[in-house]
């Protein structure tokens, strides 16, 4: 093991991260979700007649920069044929921008690709379909025309609004409002893509969900198709307005915000309404990079918590000014307002943290654990239940909120406890099940358990912790891996689970841990690292990327370091590969998405992933073995 190289890399990363910290204590790194949110904002600016030509031009440039040589757009670099949905969004946005026209090679090649893939009728993504409908290209699917009385009723045959995840609610309510009104908005900039519907119909082929079947067969009998009165539209409007954050965004999401703005127009608001202006202004704050891209949300709280935690593990004391600035920033972002999470946890006080820089209503368990860990950084502290860098009452509120979000099955969800899986086939759109369900996740549960075990000294000797561990163990795949919902995919899940379980006292020689270790070793690359394709997330089984990425190599090493008593040749090869990828990272891998958004729709490259996970892994390696 080359300890000098390891120590030098830790020192260099520590120095670089200190230099990258913002004056307010945050780290502001980008998350790249592809071009979907760029397309959404560009089209919305034109539809609302927001005259910002430099921004529209820069968004068009950003979209073009992601075009493949053969003329399509991809969701991830190794996607074999390109994405019909991503290419459709890009084509619509580029034509709407006014900077590209029919006859331009870029446009002609995109249209040729769409026709070769079966035309616009074959588009499957909920968000892509909505963009086509709101611009008047397609007919609103019957499956989107869910009557509002069914959504807001507690006794209807369909799931109520609050059975869905919070991010599903704020995306679906605007879509359902516009679909019920058959709303579309066209301007002089709006193109006509009718020639790309190849069968003469402007309907999508997958419009055959449970909802559309109920609407078609039983609507007149059970009242599903009863007209929505104005009071229900007002109720839907109030639902959206009540969830606007101080920066004007809808729960901090760019896509949800522009959908809300368009739905407000469908309800009669003027494009010049102050709420519309604030929404556009807030969405502009999500621009990041050069050329600027529109982030779905800013990752600032998550990044700051995890980077401060990593720096602490790397040896930076909590008294260091870098750590103190991060702690001050995070203290100001702790939630004090009740959100929708309180419906299922009515006796719990606010105290969590959200993902984004301006988040006051939508905390999540992963960001809360990250923030709490940032306050516990000195390894000499044996029982840091109330770190000095946060007031005791605030620490207790945060910890209590995190523990209270635990589901009855023993696992942790992302946002709201005790969600229920919605019926299979409720929506047929690609990735929609990932939006609407917020259930227990093995990776999130294991990260919370790792925090409770490593930082707070809890273990399976406590019955409720043991129950959580048993739930995680029950989620193991037959091949020994674990599925990771929020990272790509089985490499992320398996490394995270092994790290979490061993930290709370599950023995490294436990049969499940041993199977997980064998699985990790079985997928190690020839160069010593690990790399997994986003196809794994789509197809729900491991698919190799063929080359190694820093974050996935770090996740695998975390599991091996936690489970093995001494360095092995496999660990040494993995560490060498990790150091090598950090030194000579190819541009393509530098932005390969190792974060999972929505299966088949959104994959995320966190800029911070190449900092957080490698630094933590090297620090763990040094702490255990040097």
Cβ atoms of residues 349 and 401 within 8 Å:
yes
Cβ atoms of residues 406 and 417 within 8 Å:
yes
Q: Which of 32, 207, 247, 366 is catalytic?
A: 366
H runs (alpha helix) in 66-123 = 84-97, 105-116
Q: Residue 437: phi, psi to the nearest 5? A: -95, 140
Tokens of 569: 């040749």
Cβ atoms of residues 324 and 311 within 8 Å:
no
State the Cα angle at 22 between 20 and 25, rounded to 5°. Answer: 115
Cα diameter, the chain: 75
What single-letter DSSP state applies at residue 608?
T
- CA–CA dist 566, 246 (Å, integer): 51
Q: What is the C-alpha radius of gyration for the chain, rounded to an integer number of angstroms?
A: 24
- CA–CA dist 609, 303 (Å, integer): 9
Tokens of 196: 């790309």
| C-alpha pair distances (Å), 377 with each of 372, 373, 392 | 10, 7, 16
For strands 595-598 and 602-606, give the pairing. antiparallel
- CA–CA dist 471, 478 (Å, integer): 15
- CA–CA dist 411, 448 (Å, integer): 9
Tokens of 410: 């023993």
Straight-line distance from the first to the last Cα atom of the chain, in angstroms, rounded to the nearest whole number: 9
Q: Is residue 366 annotated as a catalytic residue, yes or no?
A: yes
For CA atoms 436, 182, 226, 270, give the dihedral sign: positive
Instruction: Match 């530098």 to its residue by tokens.
Output: 590
The DSSP H or E segment spanning 469 is helix 463-474
Q: What share of the chain is helix, strand, coil (3-state, %, to 5)?
A: 50, 5, 45
Cβ atoms of residues 482 and 497 within 8 Å:
yes
Interacting residues of 277 by C-beta distance below 8 A, sequence separation 6+: none
Tokens of 404: 């209270």
Cβ atoms of residues 138 and 203 within 8 Å:
yes
Nearest Cα neighbor of 560 from 551, 548, 569 is: 569
**Three-state SS across 488-535?**
CCHHHHHHHHHHHHHHCCCCCCCHHHHHHHHHHHHCCCCCCCCCECCH
Interacting residues of 77 by C-beta distance below 8 A, sequence separation 6+: 588, 592
Nearest Cα neighbor of 304 from 5, 6, 29, 115 is: 29
Cβ atoms of residues 357 and 363 within 8 Å:
no
State the Cα angle at 376 between 372 and 378, rounded to 5°. Answer: 165
For CA atoms 549, 554, 555, 556, give the dihedral sign: positive
Active site residues: 366
């Amino acid at each position: 093991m080359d300890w000098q190289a390891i120590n030098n890399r830790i020192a260099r990363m520590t120095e670089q991260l200190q230099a990258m910290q913002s004056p307010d204590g945050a780290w502001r790194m980008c998350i790249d979700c592809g071009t979907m949110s760029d397309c959404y904002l560009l089209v919305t600016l034109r539809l609302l007649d927001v005259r910002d030509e430099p921004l529209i031009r820069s968004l068009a440039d950003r979209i073009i920069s992601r075009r493949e040589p053969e003329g399509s757009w991809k969701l991830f670099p190794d996607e074999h044929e390109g994405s019909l949905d991503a290419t459709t969004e890009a084509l619509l946005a580029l034509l709407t921008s006014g900077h590209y026209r029919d006859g331009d090679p870029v446009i002609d090649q995109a249209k040729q690709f769409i026709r070769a893939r079966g035309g616009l009728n074959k588009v499957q993504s909920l968000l892509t379909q909505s963009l086509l409908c709101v611009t008047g290209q397609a007919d609103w699917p019957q499956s989107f025309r869910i009557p509002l009385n069914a959504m807001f009723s507690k006794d209807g045959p369909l799931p109520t609004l609050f059975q869905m995840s919070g991010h599903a609610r704020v995306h679906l309510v605007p879509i359902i409002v516009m679909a019920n009104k058959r709303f579309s908005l066209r301007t002089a900039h709006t193109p006509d893509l009718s020639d790309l519907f190849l069968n003469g119909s402007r309907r999508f082929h997958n419009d055959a969900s449970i909802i559309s079947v109920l609407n078609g067969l039983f609507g007149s009998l059970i009242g599903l198709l009863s007209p929505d009165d104005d009071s229900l539209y007002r109720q839907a409007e109030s639902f959206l307005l009540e969830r606007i954050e101080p920066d004007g965004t809808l729960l901090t999401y760019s896509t949800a915000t522009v959908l809300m703005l368009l739905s407000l127009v469908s309800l009669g608001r003027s494009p010049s309404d102050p709420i519309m202006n604030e929404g556009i202004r807030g969405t502009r704050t999500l621009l990041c990079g050069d050329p600027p891209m529109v982030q779905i949300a800013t990752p600032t709280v998550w990044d700051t918590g995890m980077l401060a935690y990593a720096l602490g593990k790397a040896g930076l004391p909590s008294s260091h000014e870098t750590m103190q600035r991060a702690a001050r920033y995070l203290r100001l972002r702790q939630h004090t307002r009740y959100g929708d999470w309180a419906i299922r946890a009515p006796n719990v006080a606010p105290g969590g943290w959200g993902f984004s820089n301006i988040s006051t209503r939508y905390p999540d368990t992963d960001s809360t654990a990250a923030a709490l860990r940032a306050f516990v950084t000195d390894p000499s502290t044996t029982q840091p239940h109330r770190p000095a860098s946060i007031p005791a009452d605030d620490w207790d509120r945060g910890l209590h909120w995190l523990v209270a979000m635990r589901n009855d099955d023993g696992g942790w969800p992302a946002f709201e406890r005790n969600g229920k899986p919605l019926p299979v086939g409720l929506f047929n759109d690609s990735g929609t099940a990932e939006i609407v369900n917020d259930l227990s996740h093995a990776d999130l549960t294991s990260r919370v358990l790792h925090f409770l075990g490593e930082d707070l000294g809890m273990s399976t000797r406590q019955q409720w912790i043991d129950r959580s561990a048993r739930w995680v163990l029950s989620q193991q795949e037959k091949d020994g891996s674990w599925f990771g919902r929020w990272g790509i995919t089985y490499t992320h899940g398996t490394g995270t689970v092994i790290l979490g379980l061993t930290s709370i006292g599950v023995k490294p020689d436990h049969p499940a841990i041993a199977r997980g270790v064998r699985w990790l070793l079985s997928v190690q690359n020839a160069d010593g690292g690990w790399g997994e394709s986003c196809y794994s997330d789509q197809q729900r089984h491991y698919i190799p990327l063929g080359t190694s990425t820093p974050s996935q190599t770090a996740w695998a090493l975390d599991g091996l370091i936690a489970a093995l008593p001494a360095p092995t040749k496999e660990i040494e090869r993995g560490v060498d590969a990790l150091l090598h990828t950090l030194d000579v990272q190819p541009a393509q891998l530098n932005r390969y998405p190792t974060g999972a958004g929505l299966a088949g729709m959104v994959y995320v490259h966190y800029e911070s992933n190449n900092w957080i996970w490698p630094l933590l892994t090297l620090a763990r390696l040094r702490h255990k073995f040097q």
